[in-house]
Chain A
Amino acid sequence: MGTTTPMRFRQAIVSALADEMRADSTVMLFGEDVAEAEGPFKTSEGLLAEFGPLRIRDTPISEMGFTGAAVGAAIMGMKPVVEIMFMEFLGVALDQLVTEAAKMRYLSNGKLSVPMVVRASVGSGLGFGCQHSQTLENWVAATPGLKVVCPSDAQSAYSLMRASIQDPDPVMILEPRILYAERGEVDTSLSLPIGKARVLRKGIDITVVALGQMVNVARNAIEKSGLDVELIDLATVVPWDREGVLASVKKTGRLVVVEEAPKSGGWGSEIVAAATSELFSQLKGAPFRITTPDVPVPYSGVLEARFVPTADDVARQLIESFKSGTSPKSWWELEGLK
């Protein structure tokens, strides 16, 4: 294990991009305002100065065009990283990623590789309203041929970025926007393989699986609950770490998933389904999910703060379920809403 350096989440992204670009001259970055302005969220600070305008490029507001250009460049042996400022803007480019990039290896009888990375900022909590606050993993998660990762701290932002760029297949990185300014410690020699969950806290009472900004929420909730909970940062949504997660659930006999996305159609359903069907007889309680309600992200600060799972609410549900073995009611069911 190497030494660690303190840096913010967004600086970890810059460092990983720079380290990959130093190591491999085919790596390049493009997106809106990533070059001259160094990124709307300052995730490309210093890159234009170091790597020049051939490899670091500003684009027009043409997500379909430049995402598709990444597909073509990647096929030809480049390693393009594309920045989609807010995940919602992938909507106008989805074809190129999901229907073109993700199918190239398959349709070329295994001859083509598309080593591209699409990064997008995701998530709620900053008052950007319902067209700029969704996480939208499910837009991309049901796409065989496309990997999907989501860091939760500076270390995973760094290591998952490097792993994603090195990966020979297209990888989508969901970057929780609310974490960009958060500080952490980064060991640049630590690699985190795609497809491997991170056990952030060992425990025997319950297995909690969280992703992105929900990892911090879950950590705080565990502290409040007083229970000995095993906390797993899923880190990769596709292909998710079935082996690691199920081994933990086998040990604790209980599973709670914390998600920042509408209840219907979330990635956690997959995990709860797998644990339920594969470990049914070994479970001590019903596996369940804590999610947002099935509503658009509200703008009002008062509402947005309740929209996402809170540490208090997660703690309540951990305690209740540990006592009863059943899945607790959501806050909105308790409020008689919906």
Chain B
Amino acid sequence: MSVELKRRKAVQEDSVAQYERMIEIREFEEQINGLFAAGLIRGTTHLCLGQEALAVGLASVLRPTDIVSATYRGHGIALALGLSPEAVLGEIMGKTIGCCGGVGGSMHLSNMDLGLLPTSAIIGGGMPIAAGAALSFQVRKTDDVAVAVFGDGAANIGAFHETLNLASIWNLPVVFICDNNVYGEYSRINITTPIEDLHMRADSYNMPHFSLDGMDIGVVQKGVTEAVNRARSGGGPTLIEAKTYRFAGHSRADQALYRPEGELEKWQKRDPIKLTEESLVASGALNAEKIAKIQSDMKATIEKVVATCQASPEPNLASMFQNIFTPAKVGR
């Protein structure tokens, strides 16, 4: 089994491993700004700080043969699904060790062994593609499912509505997960959208829907399991709205000064990492000492990942010309 599939298996089986993966994502994301400052990353990145429970909760419920489409805010989902931190950071640093050999960048992470389609940087872009993956499962009569993860902002773009309608009339095995982190770029949801409970929109498409607490990994697992089971057993699509909060700014340049006072602090009280810690301590799976060790070990691990990625070579000129078309072939 590949290292990456082993990483996936770990979060599917063990709640401490799930906690560790959340810590990995947190630690990983917190390194990014420093790497920009050090000139090791260029362009832009979109951090998922505060949204770790959704990423890991999802990964723990899905099979590697299920298909996931996600967005440019994808570091956490990629790590959760099992991509190695080297494959993700290497891609963000534009190095050959990256999952796309350095030509894709932070917004475009993928690994088909783990079911992750290249993440899209176009709002709504991944939604119809997930429906198409689900269509292939339906036609081939497998019991795999497709999952589309997208932001609250995507609920206002045509692709959202077209895809929900299509998935509903075709009864596709797809789960739509709207990660409602309250903001789309610099605009709070109330400025762009007349409702805040976005899952309600599925009513128009006669599709089952509900919202859940995206800060609590247990709640995420329960909700996603319900929708995934429905899809696997031929019951069709579901729209889940995960209520989360974007702890960081939209992208690198954004300090998020537009937030109402106290809003971030209110959500930080429900930091998904803290909630997971509390529940694992309560169940006896973790204690203060173990938590401290997990955190300091992870710091050291991520430091090593940074060093490994720094040492990885830059892509050569030939890699610019690769993977555009398949080599010519005649006939079937």
A interface vs B, CB < 8 Å?
Answer: 32-33, 36-37, 40, 58-65, 88-89, 91-92, 126-132, 293-296, 298-303, 306-307, 332, 335, 337-338
Contact = CB atoms under 8 A, between A and B. Distances in A.
A303 B193 contact: no
A299 B320 contact: no
Contact of B187 (A33, A126, A303): A33
A132 B157 contact: no
Given A61-B153, A298-B103, A131 B122 contact: yes
B77 interface: no
A126 B44 CA distance: 9
A133 B123 CA distance: 16
Contacts of A307: 320
Contact of B104 (A36, A299, A306): A299
Contact of A127 (B95, B105, B124, B318): B105
The interface centre, meaning the residue of B94, B105, B121, B258 with most chain A CB atoms within 10 A of its CB, is B105
B317 A129 contact: no
A313 to B, nearest CB: 13
A300 B98 CA distance: 11
Interface in B58-81: none
At the interface, is chain B mostly helix, strand, loop or mixed? loop
A307 B315 CA distance: 13
B72 to A, nearest CB: 9
B196 interface: no
Contact of A32 (B95, B124, B185): B185
B121 A303 contact: no
A302 B187 CA distance: 34
Leading 9 A-B pairs by shortest Cβ distance: A127-B43, A299-B105, A300-B94, A60-B156, A127-B42, A129-B105, A60-B192, A37-B186, A131-B121
Interface residues of B, number: 40
A62 B187 contact: no
A301 B94 contact: yes
Contacts, number: 127
A302 B94 CA distance: 9
Given A60-B193, A64-B158, A129-B104, A303 B320 contact: yes
Nearest to B42: A127
A300 B157 contact: no
Contact of A92 (B103, B122, B258): B122
A36 B120 contact: no
Contacts of B102: 298-300, 303
Nearest to A33: B186
Contact of B317 (A60, A126, A127, A303): A303
A310 to B, nearest CB: 13
B191 interface: yes
B239 to A, nearest CB: 18
Contacts of B319: 298, 303
Nearest to A91: B122
Given A60-B156, A64-B158, A129-B104, A300 B186 contact: no
Given A92-B159, A300-B102, A301-B94, A60 B153 contact: yes
Given A130-B104, A303-B317, 10 more contacts: A33-B187, A36-B186, A37-B186, A61-B156, A61-B157, A92-B124, A92-B158, A300-B315, A302-B94, A337-B317
B132 interface: no
14 contacts: A37-B187, A40-B185, A58-B192, A64-B158, A65-B158, A92-B159, A127-B42, A293-B320, A298-B320, A301-B94, A303-B102, A332-B321, A337-B318, A337-B321
B215 interface: no
B320 A58 contact: no
B185 A302 contact: no
A63 B319 CA distance: 34
Given A37-B258, A92-B159, A302-B315, A128 B320 contact: no
Interface in B95-113: 95, 100, 102-108
